[in-house]
Amino acid sequence: MIKALIGFGRLGTRSDQPEMLQFFDGVKVENTGRSVKLNADVSMSVLDGFLKMIEKRKPGA
């Protein structure tokens, strides 16, 4: 399910947002039985851009 959410996020990213594509490409999900490992290998500038994007989408913001 997490992989699907990441995939939908990537598909919903506009072509003028290459830093967001880098963010989604840097996130790796591994299912090991009853646990899920989430690893994000992204730069701080890309992470900041992602957090700003999330902040803009909050209802009432």
pTM over 0.85: no
Sign of the alpha-carbon torsion through 47, 19, 8, 57:
positive
**Model confidence over 17-59: pLDDT tens digits?**
888 888 889 999 998 889 999 998 989 988 888 888 778 776 7
Bigger pLDDT: 54 or 4? 4
- Tell me how many degrees the CA angle 40-51-9 measures, rounded to the nearest 5: 65
What is the extent of the structural domain holding 12?
Answer: 2-57
Domain total for the chain? 1
